[in-house]
Chain A
Amino acid sequence: MEKKYWKSIGEVRPSDSQQADHKEEAGQGPSSIDLLAQKTDTMPASRRDFLKWCGISFVSATVLSACENPVKKAIPYLNQPEELIPGKASWYASTYLNGNEYCPVLVKSRDGRPIKIEGNTLSSITEGGTSARVQASVLSLYDIGARYKTPLKNGEAISWEEADREIWSGLMRPGPDGKRKVLLTPTLLSPTTKALINEAMDRIAGLETVTWDAVSYAAIRQAHLVTSGMAVIPGYRFDAAELVVSFSADFLGSWLSPVEFSRAWAKNRKPGNENPMSRHIQFESHLSLTGANADERIPVKPSDEQKILMALYDEVASATGNPTLGAETVEYDVRALASDILQGRGKALVVCGHDHTDMQLLVNGINYMAGSYGATIDDSRSLNLGKGDEQAFEQLVKDMQDGNVEAILFYKTNPLYHSPDPEAFLQGLKNTPLSISFASMKDETALECTYVLPDHHYLESWNDAEFKAGYFSLAQPLIHPLLKTRQFQDSLLAWIGREEDFHAYLQDHWYRHIFPQQSFHQGFDSFWVEALQSGVHDNPHLGGIQLSWTGEGFTDAFNRLRSSAGAAGELEYCLFTNIALGDGSDANNPWLQELPDPVSSVTWDNFAAISPGQAETLGLHEGDMLRINDRMEVPVLIQPGQARGCISIALGYGRTHAGKSADKRGGNAFLLSRTDGRGRYFSGKVENWTKTGGGHLFARTQTHFSMEGRAIVRESTLDKHRENPAAGNELREYHLKHMTTLYPEVPHEGHHWALMVDLNACTGCSSCVIACQSENNTPVIGKDQVRRRRIMHWMRIDRYYTGDAENPGVVFQPLMCQHCDHAPCENVCPVAATTHSQEGINQMTYNRCVGTKYCINNCPYKVRRFNWYEYATREKFNTHTTTDLGRMVLNPDVTVRERGVVEKCSFCVQRIQDAKLKAKNERRLLRDGEIQTACMQACPSGALVFGDLNDKNSKVSKLIKDPRNYHLLEELHVLPSVGYLTKIRNPKA
């Protein structure tokens, strides 16, 4: 292990002592001991007080315990629904839809309430993967604080009938000449909703729609219209690519279809698989999840990215005999890259994450010349994303300001937060007589609208989706609407005078348009039931496209890019969506707010990421408040790997009227985005910046769990791995040879559970973290408590940097309880609250725990968590389980922990018990793969494998024999049940 790993830049650059580790620790706020000492110093508390309290607690405990047992009722159903078994969960297929995001899901329903989201394995797009945001979406259903409870008029509750009557008269009346009635929506994936909107536009005189996305992919469409004659977004096949070159496309985190891409990308990243291991090169300005996983990462600011792309285009063009367009030379060796791309035609894939038509044009050109179309790019069907029209939106704002808009309706869109110029929009909105928002959760736009007609949560709605042409999925309600809300589609149906509800409309639409296209089912009923049950319906015969290469547009693109290129030394900014909040539409989800960003490990905040060298040049320190372009304010974070000359800021933060968890967290970076009539750009020049203050405190989990420079993550390269499968893992052999123990061997009769983590497949996407939180009732504790390092997640993603601080290598390592056979925590518990089970699980018995925390101190992996306060029930910390409605999200199979007890990963013992019971009742052996821990089930890339080591044929017993396998801190000989597969990278030799 010659590589030096580090977790914060203070470790490698002592000169940055401002940001050094110890300073940071000090910055985490006063320790509780200090606070206690301070408190006892200032308070006249004494021994007498102590005795008094002792006396009172003794007496009250005695009196309380002497009370009668309360009478509890057992109230059965009056008429029990046939399909519902009390105490037993059932799963229903549905579809998560949120703007650009799409994921077919299975929803676990227990006693009539949805409590957990899983991926739908029947989907050919996501194959059962999920993202952190999909996992967390169930919590928003019960967000009583932020959901609208009734329809509102000017902030006052009114009835649906009243609202309908008033709006109907205003909406149906033909407006004065030239006045528009506009329904503003994001790109809609639901074919039936689109059909219904079209019908409504026929029936309501003058109603038109404007499509506008907060974060758009329209440039890919525009570019294909120019180069290929069709405005489409083709499918990207990362599993077919041997070389992936990405220009800022965070395809593992947030770009287009990250769940699908993670799975496909990971298929080529496991050295044991039959697919050859791919090489991944990433050009980007901020250290994204995707960049962190790349074999080669080149931090460049956005304008340099354009130059490299142009140079690469020229190189590829000259190598393939196409006309070159005269790109200037760049520092990066694009010639070598071009020859790699062209080597083995149709094996490379170039993607670009900038919503910039000219850049996308060049990418299309490179991909075309490299023969990627039809090979690594599926050019036979289009993704239904990116249909937003920025120009139409700008025109709309102008018309609104001029008073030319009669009525405006907002469906799933929040321009007062998402638009680059909210002031102009607000002014326009005030000039619009009728404004209606269908927002389900509180948002900035709904606040200013005359009417708010709240939509259902997606788990209360019927819906459908066609993410990729011909690939349909259905969404069905899991619960009766909790509040007086009405589905947007039902509102439209009511206004156009249709009697049926959207369920019937949806069925009818499928009957008329989708059912006749297939031939498998004879009757519609069986077709519908199957589609509903499986949640997805694939019909690859539908929606095929035929691209015809025009080869146009490149010269213009070059000219425009050249003219817009900034001067070399200019400071630029780049905005991105992170994995937790995306575009910020569900920023009020406390699980997502408290999810540590996998790279920066910051929770509850966004920040301006600045490279260490740049910060030094600019004289900025971590926590300084930066005002950028006079538009927004955001604290500085020194981020290793950030491109010099560029400040990167995450979108989705800085909400003002979204609810308790979201409001005033970070700054709204949408304000920095700009438009130029052709599109909207999320990068640009920093015209001016000022330091407005300092001392902002981040709640980072970074230094919580340092492993002090031992061989925790092991790495090697593909070439070395081919020579020696145990490359990078030489220590393992040494430890196996030398290990000895005083403890008796623990025989594991029956089962011996184990979990294998493939560091090569893990992208750090953190969906496992939220899945674990959702499954195991882990509380949210708030920013202040996170700063005190009390975060309760049972599973965390550790991130290690290696190498140069300006461009470090990054390794992610999921860490949960290692379930050691010789667990150090067990020996030190004075009350035997943590013990070892026959099946190899390190058991934690909450009702026995008295909170000495000896186990936490003795755990070498720091995976145990202590409940310092009543996190689950105190409003101060928690934002969701303090109300009856919020508590409905809790998993009844897992105890909600009290204050003063220790908790940790249990290997999802409730799922183990459930699966074992099923096998016993069915009188059969337990099958391998039958038990999926929550983290394993959520993982989109298949990095986690759980199983029984006593079953010699199980996947996990095979993996544990892999020469890449190692255990954490093997030298301690605590014999963990969790194994890690050495990370193999594939850099160019």
Chain B
Amino acid sequence: MKFFSPSNKKHLPALIPILFFVLCGFVVTAMVAPGPQEDTIPAGTEVPAMDDFQEIDELPDDTVTTAMDTVTTAMDTVTTALEAVPVSEGPYTRTELRRGERLFKGLVPFASGMHDCSSCHYTSRTDTLNWNPSAYDMARLWSLDESYSIRQKLANPVGMRMVADHAEMTITPQEERELEAYFERLVETGPGELRAIPVNAFIFWGLGLLMALAVVDLLITRKVRARAFHVIIIIIGLVVHMQYAVAESRALGRTQGYEPDQPIKFSHLIHAGENEIDCNYCHTVANFSLSAGIPSNNTCLNCHNVIREGTNSGRFEINKIHQAEASGEAVRWIRIHKLPDHSYFSHAQHVNAGGVACQECHGAVEEMHLIRQTEDLSMGWCLTCHRDTGVDFLDNPYYKIFERLHEDIRAGRIDAVTAAQVGGEDCMKCHY
């Protein structure tokens, strides 16, 4: 069959819009694919190639290390003589790294038995909260602190959780070295990124492909006789694509649902929920400033000077506050709720004068371990609230100046005054 018979050529222009949509598909996928927006830690995100380690293998003392390789490989099975074998010095070898990774992930047994470190200390990112320090967290700590010894930590566990979980776990110097090799790699590779399954993208592309096939069959191959079949596929496809386009462009620049990992696994559920600490205790300036204020390190220390250990995360996370204090470097939290620069939002206005509960905008914070942006913070969302929410009209003497509205209330024409009625819809309430 001829692909382009003269009679078919007149249908060609019809292909153009279809191709356009397919092209758009590429673009939109880029928007859809990332899934939940995750923090991309700037430092050390590039994945180092194994070449780095090969280079090390080719160092002058190659022979020594290779010899050591054979010894240690042999030791895999002969565990009793381990203490006697001198631990190698210098850069970690490939073999040490390989063994370190296997030990950590529980693929080969330790001298003291089979322990799967990675079952508690996750080696990659997950979208569920794990209270234990991740492998990367520990590796980073190890890289920063010269005196950090994995063996020491295991031999002298601190805190109830750690004691309970690491009972009977001992490792040999050689195993420590192998784990260190793995830690070094982790520090270089970084914590990794959370790969979400781009369901939306599959649907988008699947439909795109189907539509393309339908067009090709309709115009050229003509395998399926029933034309309605093609038309239905194309119509459904276009509707879904348009729906995606609208939804995605609306969400542009908005981060509803954003729930990044924070540098400290701070749980609002435990602090604000279980322990019922008032929001204002930490966010001290919400009542009289634009910003609610991220609590400074010394605010944390008010309690955590005494409370050194948590139920969920043991001492590891709380220790980060003390590390910040010691190093003089403040904790770099990841900002979740952001408004564009041309919008002026005052916490004092809403919290103090307006009496709006924190949860109205931030969601049920006291039920969240990790903070998630529950609202889209769009202008429409702001205005809806301004139109629906009453102000403290009768009790706050400031509003006495609105004489006509007071009249209306006295006459029973209205029973409440919304923010919009006292100018809450004016552009220059927020944009100046």
Contact = CB atoms under 8 A, between A and B. Distances in A.
Nearest to B422: A750
Interface string B267-296: 000000000000000000101111101111
Given A78-B324, A837-B423, A925 B296 contact: no
Interface string B420-432: 0011001111011
Contacts of B328: 78
A925 B398 contact: yes
B422 A80 contact: no
Nearest to A845: B427
B10 interface: no
Given A66-B30, A895-B342, A921-B352, A75 B330 contact: yes
A36 interface: no
B298 interface: yes
Interface stretch (A83-91, A595-603, A851-859): A83-91
Given A919-B398, A950-B401, A76 B341 contact: no
Contact of A923 (B294, B398, B402, B431): B398
Contacts of A69: 37, 253, 255, 258
A63 B289 CA distance: 37
B258 to A, nearest CB: 8
Contact of A843 (B31, B331, B332, B427): B427
Interface in B383-404: 395-398, 400-402, 404
Contact of A749 (B31, B397, B402): B402
Interface stretch (B123-131, B158-166, B194-202, B343-351): B343-351
Given A68-B34, A87-B291, A76 B352 contact: no
B58 to A, nearest CB: 38
B426 A839 contact: yes
A846 interface: yes
B415 interface: no
B41 to A, nearest CB: 9
Contacts of B422: 749-750, 838
A894 interface: yes
Interface in A917-932: 917, 919-921, 923-926
A845 B429 CA distance: 10
A520 interface: no
B426 A843 contact: yes
A909 interface: yes
A921 B396 CA distance: 9
Contact of A917 (B255, B258, B348, B405): B348
Nearest to A893: B344
Contacts, number: 167
A77 B346 CA distance: 20
B402 A750 contact: yes
A617 interface: no
B333 interface: yes
A266 interface: no
Given A76-B295, A78-B298, A894 B333 contact: no
Nearest to A81: B296
B429 A76 contact: no
Interface in A704-725: none
B420 to A, nearest CB: 10
B356 to A, nearest CB: 13
Contacts of B191: none
Contacts of A77: 296-297, 330
B289 to A, nearest CB: 4
B71 interface: no
Q: DSSP class of B's interface residues: helix, strand, loop or mixed?
A: loop
A847 interface: yes
B334 A73 contact: yes
A906 B31 CA distance: 38
Contacts of A948: 401
Interface in A55-106: 62-63, 65-66, 68-69, 71-80, 85-88
B314 interface: no
A913 interface: yes
Interface string A866-906: 00000000000000000000000000011100000000001
A769 to B, nearest CB: 20
A764 to B, nearest CB: 28
Given A69-B253, A749-B402, A920-B396, A80 B342 contact: no
A86 B291 contact: yes
Contact of B298 (A80, A749, A839): A80
Nearest to B325: A78
B432 A906 contact: yes
Q: Which of A79, A916, A924 has the most CB of B within 10 A?
A: A79
Interface string B17-30: 00000000001101
B429 A913 contact: yes
B317 to A, nearest CB: 17
B39 A71 contact: yes
B330 A78 contact: yes
Given A837-B427, A845-B431, A906-B428, A88 B260 contact: no
Contacts of B40: 68, 71
B297 A79 contact: yes
B338 interface: yes
B335 interface: yes
B27 A847 contact: no
A73 B423 contact: no
A236 B12 CA distance: 92
Contacts of B299: 80
A42 to B, nearest CB: 36
Interface string B245-261: 00000001101001010
Contact of B252 (A65, A71, A88, A747): A65
B32 to A, nearest CB: 9
Given A75-B333, A920-B396, A921-B288, A951 B295 contact: no
A74 B334 contact: yes
Given A63-B27, A75-B333, A86 B285 contact: yes
B46 interface: no
Given A837-B426, A839-B426, A951-B401, A847 B344 contact: no
A896 to B, nearest CB: 8
A74 to B, nearest CB: 4
Contact of B396 (A85, A895, A923): A923
A76 B294 CA distance: 6
A835 interface: yes
B288 A909 contact: no
Contact of B404 (A79, A749, A909, A913): A749
A913 to B, nearest CB: 7
A916 B340 CA distance: 23
Contacts of B258: 69
Contacts of A926: 398, 401
Given A837-B427, A837-B428, A843-B426, A78 B296 contact: yes
Nearest to B333: A74
Contact of A78 (B297, B401, B426): B297
Given A65-B252, A87-B289, A847-B342, A74 B335 contact: yes
Given A843-B426, A917-B348, A926-B401, 4 more contacts: A74-B294, A75-B331, A837-B426, A921-B352
10 contacts: A62-B27, A65-B31, A66-B31, A72-B335, A78-B330, A747-B404, A838-B426, A917-B349, A921-B288, A923-B396
In the complex, the 9 A-B pairs of residues with the closest C-beta atoms, listed nearest first:
A87-B290, A920-B353, A80-B296, A87-B291, A837-B426, A76-B294, A74-B335, A838-B423, A843-B428
